[in-house]
Structure 1
Amino acid sequence: MSRLASLDYIFAITLITSFLDAYGMGANDVANSFATSVSSRSLSFRQAILAAAVCEFLGAILVGSRVASTIKDDIIPLSNFPTVGFQMLGFGCVSAGSATFQLFATSMGMPVSATHTVIGAVVGVGIASGGAQSVRWEWSGVGQVFAAWGIAPALSGCIAAIIFLITKFGVLKRKNSTTVAFYAAPFYFFAVAAILTMSILWKGASTVKEGELTTGVLVGSILGAGGGVSLLSILFFLPYVHCQVVKKDYTIKIWHIFLGPALWFRQPPADATENTLAVPDYYKGHHDEDWAHLDKGNRRGEDVEAADGAEESMSHKSDPIRRNSGESNRHPSQLAEEVEKECRSTDFTGRPPKPYYHPIEGAWIEPWNIWIMLRYNLLPAANYYLFGGLRTNIHEMQKSGSEKTQKKIRDMHANATQYDNNTEHMFSFMQVMSACVASFSHGSNDVSNSIAPLAAVYQCWKTSQYSGSEAEVPVWVIAYGGIGIVIGLATYGWKLMSVLGNRLTLHSPSRGFSMELGASITVILASQFGIPVSSTQSITGATIGVSCCSGSWRTTNWKALAFFFYGWCITLPLAGIVSGCLFGIIANAPSFNDV
């Protein structure tokens, strides 16, 4: 059938809101997922963007269709919409409500779930269109979502804690931890590769129908993929890491990994010693000396107080600055100014400096003023807001804040054990692989959720028929959402990463590997059964599980966790209110019922 030409504007508006929804997901939900890898220094911010661009697409295309169908078709019945136009309007409002709340939450630094945001918007439209009784609250609809809210964090926390405890007592706390990690690496690579293969083949890939693969083929494929990756790690990864960790070869580059076994015979530089820094310092910024400026600030503050107390007794004398240039005789106001200047220099925010805006004289419409605004004001502003995120120092942002906040973060990190840096370097490569699995898992759930409203609107607009349970999500819709996600992560992802990672607990490659793998297993299992779980809550649960096993209860920022939980609680009702009110206002506007 022909398309609904009279409702082209709804499709066009939904295209815009869906892109904003995907943008908000990238800036919020995806940034939340990659905060672990960036915080542990296993991935840089730019590398995380690249990983998201590849893995989110693969996850959405291969295993995302079933979850999209659950949200789109199993919560609101078609009887809520008397015409196809009403269904287009309904899912257009879902997209608008979800985008509005996600952008609001991101601007507030509140990590929320894209899955729950879309579900809340769908519930809001369902109540507005057919009343609360029309929403499927039972297990086949919203019920399983409510259950997943508690199950996902608890399950991912337990799985991540088990993985970290095995790693902690089996590798990290061993006397020869680096050697043990060296021999254990192939087994870890085998496990991660097997999980990734299982996520694709075990009732997940859209290109593989149920029943086409026998149990023997599935098991063989999973074990074969895991064994292949494990063999590659022996041939290429172990020689490369041996050069870095054992030979202290600081001249080796990442592309040398392709030399494989030839690296066993590579000779290190003559000046390579035990003190040579051949691997990154994964605890950089979290050592005691890195927080010395706080204690120094306190000592200088005491000097200011002492100077203030002596100011009255010196008031009858001549100016001490003129009389003596020594530090002990400086005027209190001068000393206070120097202390304030020193504190400003140590309170890094991690953000690049804002551009200087050139002032104009006269009317802005004058040609030379237009040129000044475009050349010296608009272009620097666009560069700052579009590409400033790529120049943001995420680690400094996670440590920034008032002196009281910095002290809390320092005390929290002091209660967490710092393991051997060379051993952590072994796990950094494993975390990169687990980060890809986490991104793949996120794509299998949340990408499809964000573009499901657009897919429903497109189906109605193109065929002039209701979007039913058999409607497939077009590939271009997934690609469209993926582009928005990557742009959102690149330009605004720093906002959420600044309140996560090391601000919640101390991160390192071994911890991050356990967190991401535990969350990935939870999300992948849920996607295979068609349950739309929250990757945000999964990675948060995994983070808390690992944090509780890496030290005392003081290793976790419980205040920040309470703030996150508050955000989860308001997600569904606020997203539902926005989309429901928007649908109710437009649907009851004059002349719309004539469509």
Structure 2
Amino acid sequence: MEFKTIYKLQKKALKRSAADFTRLGFAIFFMIGVLTFTFLSNGGIPNSMFLAVAALIGAYMAMNIGANDVANNVGPAVGSKALTLTTAIIIAAIFEASGALIAGGEVVKTIKNGIIDISAFNGNPDEFIWAMMAALLAAALWLNFATMAKAPVSTTHSIVGGVMGAGIAAAGFSVVNWTTMGSIVASWVISPLLGGVIAAAFLFSIKKSIIFKDDKVEAAKRYVPFFVAAMSLAFVTYIILKGLKSIWPKIIEFLNLLPFISLEITKKPAFLIAFFIGLIVAIFVYFLVKKRLASSVTALENTKDSVNTLFTIPLIFAAALLSFAHGANDVANAIGPLAAINDAVINGGVSSSASIPLWVMGVGAFGIALGLALYGPKLIKTVGSEITDLDQIRAFSIAMSASLTVILASQLGLPVSSTHIAIGGIFGVGFLREWLHIKDEQHRTIEEDTLIIIDEELNKNAYKHELKVLQEKSDKTQSDYTRIVDLYKLIATEKKIIKSTKKNIKKAKKVQYVRRDAIKKIIAAWLITVPVAAVLAGILFFTIKGIMI
């Protein structure tokens, strides 16, 4: 029997290791392919080997972004069972790559958020190339470790830390824009708080307007169209502002080709224009959903689970749109430094912005998609089910928070992290559930347990009184001694019941819907992301410099 058990465990371990080697094989094949292509297509350029190695590191970084960061977009939908893990990965991979290729932009800032002053390099392309390579590799290594530890962290903060550390190693502390770094530190607090508050507010409004009603079907018929329309408004505005900003001039040029349309070409969309387009889409969605519900809502049962199903399709759209916007924005975390190195190698100088060749964009787009497919499931499961339990309504609230928080923060000029917003939204939903549970238990369970304590205390006191009378009796009989023993046992039993009931009251007050160990791990990872990436980048810079000199 023991040999059979050992054989089964061995077989399972071999199967798991085979899957791990297969994933690793695909990842290595992709990186070597990028290395080979880059070297062969740029072989006649001085420092082409630097560019090829940088492209390999960029491919590694892109895969780590896909493995870690994309989980925030699809994790809640998977955790709520609106999407299967496989379907979520396929949708996210397609839309991440599409966002990167279509709307990733032709020009990016090579130094993320202007955190270091490139003039400190004095036009020296070699040290600049080494610094960017060190920053890219440090950020990728940290993301790899965080993914292994199942900690969702900000890829933007990772590359920011890498660029800062490499910049300090190359040119000293004066190279860093500390004002910008201060705003990044502020985002550690602003992002999760805003995300949590908005997600909790939406969840409570849905519960108040639908779930807490006696006739949930009728309430759903009335309010679900409003909530889905609000999501449409938020997401269309979000996609235009964040996902299409780099190709907005081309969109305006195309629209101007249509008759009766004459729009001013601007570098990026204005909030009012994005909001107006979102409002038109929202009105259309409202009447569409209302019409669909009028014909199908009668088939629903008057239960929370039945109402939950109405939010499944909106969640699928949310996962797709969040992935598109993420691909359009965060691809720069992988290809920004790579584009900087490519520009420095080809032009022999240092620039704060650079055009992105199609092959560089392809490295970022396909790297993110591949990293998600190979290593994304681990973080998707963590985000979707290991922080708090999610259903479609809770996941819907988190998705709403992700779009609204970014829109609000961008208009107020507040620095935010999409990763911190999403995780903050999950925290907010979980803590709201705790608060509602405590509120309910204090009106129900605690009152019942208090009555039990009172009854048991009365019984215990009655037993004590009888025991005292028997102990003071001078002519005790055999039955008296037997009764005394029974009374001691009864008193001990009552003490146990009272103690257990008091524990139940405390437990009712301390029910935890958010796993505290997950909170501690994630917050710790957030706090050390920038300094760890910075220190690692500094070490790598000196290592690369030592090898090259």
TM-score by length of 1: 0.64
Q: Of 504, 508, 512, which residue of structure 1 is paired with 2:391?
A: 508
Looking at structure 1, the residues matched to 285 and 110 of structure 2 have their Cα atoms a distance apart, in angstroms, of: 34
Shift of 1:545: 1.0
Per-residue CA deviation, residues 322-358 of structure 1 (Å, 9 max, x unaligned), is xxxxxxxxxxxxxxxxxxxxxxxxxxxxxxxxxxxxx
Equivalent in the alignment of 1:145 = 184
Looking at structure 2, the residues matched to 122 and 461 of structure 1 have their Cα atoms a distance apart, in angstroms, of: 18
- 8 Å contact 1:4–1:461 — kept in the other structure? no
Q: 1:58 to 1:239 in 2, by over 3 A?
A: farther
Equivalent in the alignment of 1:316 = none
Q: Determine which structure has the larger helix proportion and give its number.
A: 2
Q: Of 227, 231, 238, which residue of structure 1 is paired with 2:293?
A: 238
- 8 Å contact 1:182–1:426 — kept in the other structure? no
- 8 Å contact 1:194–1:222 — kept in the other structure? yes
- 8 Å contact 1:84–1:464 — kept in the other structure? yes
Gaps of 5+ in 2: 1-41, 250-263, 436-510
Per-residue CA deviation, residues 371-411 of structure 1 (Å, 9 max, x unaligned), is xxxxxxxxxxxxxxxxxxxxxxxxxxxxxxxxxxxxxxxxx
Equivalent in the alignment of 2:142 = 101
Percent identity, please: 33
Q: 1:224 to 1:7 in 2, by over 3 A?
A: same
1:482 and 2:365 correspond: yes
Looking at structure 2, the residues matched to 494 and 131 of structure 1 have their Cα atoms a distance apart, in angstroms, of: 40
Per-residue CA deviation, residues 214-253 of structure 1 (Å, 9 max, x unaligned), is 8875554222222233344345x5378x2xx6447xxxxx
Looking at structure 2, the residues matched to 533 and 68 of structure 1 have their Cα atoms a distance apart, in angstroms, of: 19
Looking at structure 1, the residues matched to 343 and 385 of structure 2 have their Cα atoms a distance apart, in angstroms, of: 44
SS of the counterpart of 1:504?
coil
SS of the counterpart of 1:551?
helix
AA matched with 1:44: T
Question: Larger Rg: 1 or 2?
Answer: 2
1:564 and 2:448 correspond: no
Equivalent in the alignment of 1:14 = 54
- 8 Å contact 1:70–1:530 — kept in the other structure? no
Q: How many residues align?
A: 415
Q: 1:233 to 1:562 in 2, by over 3 A?
A: same
- 8 Å contact 1:148–1:533 — kept in the other structure? yes
AA matched with 1:584: F
Q: Of 187, 196, 204, which residue of structure 2 is paired with 1:157?
A: 196
- Please report the RMSD computed on the Cα atoms of aligned residues, expressed in angstroms: 3.0
- 8 Å contact 1:59–1:439 — kept in the other structure? yes
Range that drifts further, 168-177 or 56-65: 56-65
Q: 1:170 to 1:473 in 2, by over 3 A?
A: farther
Looking at structure 2, the residues matched to 468 and 12 of structure 1 have their Cα atoms a distance apart, in angstroms, of: 21
Per-residue CA deviation, residues 47-95 of structure 1 (Å, 9 max, x unaligned), is 2122212432454467765995385361121123241222222212211
Shift of 1:101: 1.2
Looking at structure 1, the residues matched to 128 and 412 of structure 2 have their Cα atoms a distance apart, in angstroms, of: 27
Looking at structure 1, the residues matched to 382 and 270 of structure 2 have their Cα atoms a distance apart, in angstroms, of: 46
Shift of 1:566: 1.0
Q: 1:37 to 1:563 in 2, by over 3 A?
A: same
Equivalent in the alignment of 1:266 = none
SS of the counterpart of 1:174?
coil
Looking at structure 2, the residues matched to 546 and 67 of structure 1 have their Cα atoms a distance apart, in angstroms, of: 38
Q: Of 7, 23, 48, which residue of structure 1 is paired with 2:88?
A: 48
Equivalent in the alignment of 1:431 = 315
SS of the counterpart of 1:42?
coil
Shift of 1:503: 2.0
Looking at structure 2, the residues matched to 102 and 147 of structure 1 have their Cα atoms a distance apart, in angstroms, of: 21
Q: Of 198, 210, 221, which residue of structure 2 is paired with 1:182?
A: 221
Looking at structure 1, the residues matched to 545 and 94 of structure 2 have their Cα atoms a distance apart, in angstroms, of: 39
AA matched with 2:96: E
Shift of 1:567: 1.0
Shift of 1:530: 7.9
1:450 and 2:334 correspond: yes
Equivalent in the alignment of 1:228 = 284
TM-score by length of 2: 0.69
- 8 Å contact 2:99–2:324 — kept in the other structure? yes
Q: 1:432 to 1:457 in 2, by over 3 A?
A: same
Per-residue CA deviation, residues 183-238 of structure 1 (Å, 9 max, x unaligned), is 32322232222222222444862232586478875554222222233344345x53
Range that drifts further, 10-19 or 202-211: 202-211
Q: Of 524, 535, 541, which residue of structure 1 is paired with 2:424?
A: 541
Q: 1:445 to 1:66 in 2, by over 3 A?
A: farther
- The 5-angstrom pairing of residues 392-407 of structure 1 reads none
Q: 1:530 to 1:458 in 2, by over 3 A?
A: farther
Q: Of 475, 483, 494, which residue of structure 1 is paired with 2:377?
A: 494
Per-residue CA deviation, residues 266-296 of structure 1 (Å, 9 max, x unaligned), is xxxxxxxx79xxxxxxxxxxxxxxxxxxxxx
- The 5-angstrom pairing of residues 568-587 of structure 1 reads 568-587=526-545
- 8 Å contact 1:64–1:527 — kept in the other structure? no
1:31 and 2:71 correspond: yes
Task: Using CA pairs under 8 Å that are at least 6 residues apart, name the structure with larger relative contact order, 1 or 2.
Answer: 1
Gaps of 5+ in 1: 249-273, 276-418
